[in-house]
Chain A
Amino acid sequence: MATAQSKQASVTLPREERSGMTDEQMLAKVRGLRFYHGDRCIFDGIDLDIQRGRITAIMGPSGTGKTTLLKLISGQLHADAGTVEVDGQSIQELSRDALYQLRIRMGMLFQSGALLTDLNVFENVAFPIREHAKLPESVLRKLVLIKLEAVGLRGAAALMPSQLSGGMARRVALARAIALDPMMIMYDEPFTGQDPISMGVLVSLIRQLNDASEMTSIIVSHDVTETTSIADYLYIIANGKIMAEGTPQEVAANESDWVRQFMQGEPDGPVHYHYPAQTLEQDLLQSVCH
């Protein structure tokens, strides 16, 4: 009883007091975020913090708006209500030029890789450097080769994106995302559709890059095992709300049936296996009548 009361009390405290983090420690701060897709409510007033230098994972079932959240943080979408701050700047209030200046310091790894298909691997990684840093060709070449070496694909520099496997394409996209040494990198479903070897490579790369470059990482994923193995902090979202948050150990120990079902991948529970419908008998009888 006492435990339940203390949990309830902690939830009603302002987020700053609950997390104990100062503004300097937070790279991104989301407050009261509401977002609608047509009539459908995707986020219903959520708060979350992204701490500098940490790997924060945002998890939840498919279709809960995890990628939408990344797009809101990066300013590709605008919230219907609430605020999104990145490095002390309110995303909604930034001009287009200011947003682009901020994005130079943000990297994003798309689910599809999003490599430019008319450029080879070397030119894809060189692309953001050519666009934003006027470097001599010899320096640029060394820089690109170093980035490709970091993801183990220096030997693939001359290949076209169509010649890469899914895992290789994602590693090239990762090399491109870190080309300008960003302060923050966002990973959109980095482990989806990867074979075990590629998955292992990506998991260790994300952790190494985060620690070696002192970056801040946000991972959006529904791959529980891989994500919890490298994340410092987890948010579980569903139905437009944050269902649980904490370190992987804290979330794993969460007593909520819903969280337990998601973390342990149980087929039935609070989230039903069957999509809402009338009973099977009713459906079958209807088909007979028709």
Chain B
Amino acid sequence: MLDSLARLGRVGLAILASLGRAHLLLVGILRGLPSMLVRPRLLLAQIYGVGVLSLLIIVVSGLFVGMVLGLQGYYVLSQFGAAESLGVMVAASLVRELGPVVTALLFAGRAGSALTAEIGLMKATEQLSGLEMMAVDPVKRVLTPRFFAGLISMPLLAALFSAIGVIGGWFVGVGLLGIDDGAFWGQMQNKIDFDEDLVNGVIKSLVFGLVVTWIALYEGYDATPTSAGVSRATTRTVVQSALAILGLDFILTALMFGG
């Protein structure tokens, strides 16, 4: 009984210590902002790695999610004689929910895991220690540009996901199922609100970008510097990011649209 309590206490303390280290790391990353702004090329290189190289998976996934939404939406709406509202349904689903959430999940799987593996391997191969010994702060030099690259890339990728998804929905609804083109776009323009839908969607994707990139960088930086340690850290990044995204999505949705 006492042993179980002691084990529980140890686990609790380890979690608290880990949270503390993660927050200290975030402060260190944010402190690196001024030196990163002096050398924007570091940021641009990371936006390419984190954002541009994620384009393919985001575009293809967005297209298919939009097409599935078109098919499913048409099936439900046509039963109520409201098939003309397919454009609103597809756009609202994408902009409010699926765009930020699915993009963040894909971003965690593609860019987040890559960031953790890269930082973890830099630690395992003593590259981070090497920077320290060259009097270069690895947090400012390596982590800060990657953090802000994630923060900038995520809303742009989510916007692209939603835009491509709408096109996918239009292709299925208008192109294949014969919904009126004007009704599809017109109802969408009337019903989708800039502040209520678009801005809230962007806020969600910004929050998800921050959390996913933070988790990915922390897990890499805190990884045990062995191949097994880096592997475990990469897995933790994907699992923790997915849970954080879905949990935060509920909280943000309740705050934004809960009335």
Q: Residues on A close to B: CB < 8 A?
A: 74, 76, 100-101, 103-104, 106-108, 110-112, 114-117, 127-128, 131-132, 176
- By a CB distance below 8 angstroms, the chain A residues around B126 are 110-112, 114
Overall SS of chain B's interface: loop
Instruction: Check A114 against B125 for contact (C-beta < 8 Å).
Output: yes
Determine whether B132 belongs to the interface, using a CB cutoff of 8 Å to chain A. Answer: yes
A137 to B125 alpha-carbon distance, docked (Å)? 29
Instruction: Check B134 against A103 for contact (C-beta < 8 Å).
Output: yes
What are 28 A-B interface contacts by the 8 Å CB criterion?
A76-B129, A76-B132, A76-B133, A101-B135, A103-B135, A106-B133, A107-B133, A108-B130, A108-B133, A110-B133, A111-B126, A112-B125, A114-B126, A114-B127, A114-B129, A114-B130, A115-B127, A116-B127, A116-B130, A117-B125, A117-B127, A127-B136, A128-B134, A128-B135, A131-B134, A131-B135, A131-B136, A176-B134
- By a CB distance below 8 angstroms, the chain A residues around B135 are 100-101, 103-104, 128, 131-132
Q: How far is the CB of B17 from chain A (nearest CB, A)?
A: 15
Q: How far is the CB of A113 from chain B (nearest CB, A)?
A: 8
A101 to B132 alpha-carbon distance, docked (Å)? 11
Q: How far is the CB of A143 from chain B (nearest CB, A)?
A: 15
A-B complex: 10 closest residue pairs judged by Cβ atoms: A114-B130, A100-B135, A114-B126, A103-B135, A108-B133, A128-B134, A110-B126, A104-B135, A112-B126, A131-B136
- By a CB distance below 8 angstroms, the chain A residues around B137 are 100
Most interface-central of A106, A112, A176 (chain B CB within 10 A): A112
Interface string of B102-142 (1 = CB under 8 A from A): 00000000000000000000000111011011111100000
Known: A76-B129, A104-B135, A131-B134. 7 other contacts (CB 8 A): A76-B132, A106-B133, A108-B130, A110-B126, A110-B130, A114-B127, A116-B130
Residue on A nearest B125 in the bound complex, by CB: A112
Q: How far is the CB of B138 from chain A (nearest CB, A)?
A: 11
Residue on A nearest B128 in the bound complex, by CB: A114
- By a CB distance below 8 angstroms, the chain B residues around A101 are 135
A74 to B133 alpha-carbon distance, docked (Å)? 8
A76 to B129 alpha-carbon distance, docked (Å)? 8
Most interface-central of A101, A108, A111, A132 (chain B CB within 10 A): A108
Instruction: Check A103 against B127 for contact (C-beta < 8 Å).
Output: no
Q: How far is the CB of A66 from chain B (nearest CB, A)?
A: 15
Instruction: Check B133 against A103 for contact (C-beta < 8 Å).
Output: yes
Residue on A nearest B45 in the bound complex, by CB: A118
Most interface-central of B129, B132, B133 (chain A CB within 10 A): B133
A115 to B132 alpha-carbon distance, docked (Å)? 13
Q: How far is the CB of A239 from chain B (nearest CB, A)?
A: 26
Residue on B nearest A101 in the bound complex, by CB: B135
B129 partner, pick from A100, A110, A128, beta carbons under 8 A: A110
Q: How far is the CB of A105 from chain B (nearest CB, A)?
A: 9
A127 partner, pick from B125, B129, B134, beta carbons under 8 A: B134
A74 to B130 alpha-carbon distance, docked (Å)? 12
A111 to B132 alpha-carbon distance, docked (Å)? 15
Q: How far is the CB of A93 from chain B (nearest CB, A)?
A: 18
- By a CB distance below 8 angstroms, the chain B residues around A131 are 134-136
A245 to B86 alpha-carbon distance, docked (Å)? 84
Q: How far is the CB of B146 from chain A (nearest CB, A)?
A: 12
